[in-house]
Amino acid sequence: MKNIILMTSTGSYLPKKKMSNHDISKLVDTSDEWIQQRSGIAFRHFVEKDELTSDMATNAAKKVIKNAKINAQDIDLIVVATTTPDLTFPATAVKVQKNLNSNAIAFDIQAVCAGFVYALSVGVSMLKDGFGEKCLVIGADSMSKILDWNDRTTSVLFGDGAGAVLLEASSNYGIIDCELGIDGSGADFLNMPAGGSLNRATEHTIKNKMHFVKQNGAAVFKHAVKGMYDITHKIMERNKISNENLKLFIAHQANKRIIDATALKMKLSNEQVFINIDKYANTTAASIPIALCDAYENNLLNKGDNLIMTAFGAGFT
């Protein structure tokens, strides 16, 4: 049994195509002012038609592998969190395994915007249980493929991208604790109604735009602030971490107002709260690892700093 699992390397990937709010306002009835004021978003990146979630996941993974100075063949586990898999089956992780020319066990996790923290928790547990030495945890989503450009309430909020970390055993410090939560009564507030076994693809589902994201934004907003506050408070209390010894709070980047409201409830200073939603919008399962990578590359994190990563997503997860 290994006791402490550490994130030893990070990497992220954003598709080349960058879209400003002004660009978006040519596709849907909105404005830069509305998007910035209501969400904090200024830009997002979108994949090209032939660029897949697995391609972005592979690119982020390659950066992690390069930064860690290891080979893909050294990796024992690949866990991919995604809501926009290349295919319903098999898992996107198997494609990443093939792209990397790795022999790792590979599977997907579906917990929407909280997918990365779920995948991280699974990776940590499996390494602790002796399933291997090195685990790649990846969050990757191409939400642009399921956005409805006739729905301004959702289409302006999302972007595409991928982020990844390498998990390895450590003797000094590492991931101290994980807490996962679900409120299944939230499923109706944010989902994609068709394409699964409930509503298989038919002329009717296509005509009624059932293969796109549907959201009750106000309901999700309210639950997100409470959900992220409650779970963060619980983990801080359990591990006796006070605001004074918390270096950085990385929350899922869905809306700057949600993060600000959560941070205000927690009484955190601005320096403790990481924000990059302005650059990438909501990248779903990729948001936390991209933020982590940005924070690390901007020298905001040092060995041994206390960091909390918190997410909230459809489900509610």
Catalytic residue among 21, 252, 255, 293: 252
Decide if 135 is catalytic: no
Q: Which residue number places its CB atom closest to ligand UT7?
A: 217
Decide if 252 is catalytic: yes
- How many CB atoms sit inside 10 A of residue 251's CB? 29
Query: Which backbone phi and psi does 2 adopt, to 5 degrees?
Result: -100, 140
Torsion of CA 181, 257, 53, 154, to 10 degrees: 100
Residue whose CB is less far from ligand UT7, 67 or 153: 153
CB 246, min distance to ligand UT7, A? 23
CB 245, min distance to ligand UT7, A? 29
* Residues in contact with ligand UT7 by the rule CB under 6 A: 30, 34, 38-39, 113, 152-153, 156, 190, 217-218, 220-221, 224, 254-255, 258, 282, 313
Which among 255, 245, 248 is positioned nearest to 223, based on CA atoms?
Answer: 255
Residue whose CB is less far from ligand UT7, 46 or 104: 46
Decide if 282 is catalytic: yes
Q: Output helix, strand, coil percentages for the chain, rounded to the nearest 5.
A: 40, 20, 40
Residue whose CB is less far from ligand UT7, 87 or 218: 218
Residue whose CB is less far from ligand UT7, 97 or 154: 154
Whether the Cβ atoms of residue 310 and residue 251 lie closer than 8 Å to each other: yes
CB 259, min distance to ligand UT7, A? 10
Whether the Cβ atoms of residue 77 and residue 103 lie closer than 8 Å to each other: no
Sign of CA dihedral 143, 182, 241, 261: positive
Query: Which backbone phi and psi does 215 adopt, to 5 degrees?
Result: -145, 140
Residue matched to tokens 């939560």? 181
Q: Label residues 176-187 b or e (16+ Cβ within 10 Å = b).
A: eeeeeeeeeebe
Which among 21, 46, 59 is positioned nearest to 293, based on CA atoms?
Answer: 59
Residue whose CB is less far from ligand UT7, 133 or 148: 148
Residue whose CB is less far from ligand UT7, 241 or 275: 275
CB 169, min distance to ligand UT7, A? 32
C-alpha R_g of the chain: 19
Catalytic residue among 113, 255, 276, 293: 113
How open is the CA angle 282-94-192, to the nearest 5 degrees? 40
CB 221, min distance to ligand UT7, A? 4
Distance of alpha carbon 260 from alpha carbon 51, whole angstroms: 33
CB 67, min distance to ligand UT7, A? 27
Catalytic residues, by residue number, are: 113, 252, 282
